[in-house]
Amino acid sequence: MPVEIERKFLVVGEGWRQAALGPPMPIRQGYVVDGAGAGMTVRVRRSGERAWLTLKSPGLLSRAEFEYPIPAADAEALLAGHCVSPPLAKHRTRVRHGGLVWEVDEFEGRLAGLVLAEVELSEAGQEVALPEWVGAEVTQDARFQNAALARADSVPVPQAR
């Protein structure tokens, strides 16, 4: 069973821009099933001419993930009329730091101003060298999962620790 293990952080600086591995990629994604009842999420994502359907089990740091390419036209049809909340729009930039590739997402629309960085790991306890441009870790804050962000009216405020 494929497993996704990732940590997520708020981005607090612009230093990641100099380390970008290429130009930002526009992404639109929506949720056919958003997991709000603690079940699987079913996400449709479109980036350029490519599109995917992804199923994810509940979880924050680690969860099962199944991803399948689908025709771009099918993704557009799902995004246009079959999502349970408005699709998210963001630009993703890949950045190398500490031997890992980070994904930095700049959100648009009602979530404008939110910038999140995610790093995928091979195991939950893997050591990660944090770049200077990340701030608070929000891995364990379910409000920062993309399915929850799709339901949000505005950018969530991180919980004080």
Taking phi over 0 as left and psi of -120 to 50 as alpha, with beta for the rest, 15 belongs to alpha
- Distance CA(2)–CA(92), nearest Å, equals 23
68: annotated active-site residue? no
Strands 62-69 and 88-97 turn out to be unpaired
CA distance 155 to 105: 13
- Given the residues 31, 107, 133, 144, select the one marked as catalytic: 31
CA distance 126 to 105: 22
Q: Which residues of the chain form beta strands (DSSP E)? A: 3-11, 25-34, 41-47, 50-56, 62-69, 88-97, 100-107, 115-120, 134-137
CA 133, 59, 92, 89 dihedral sign is negative
- Catalytic site positions: 31
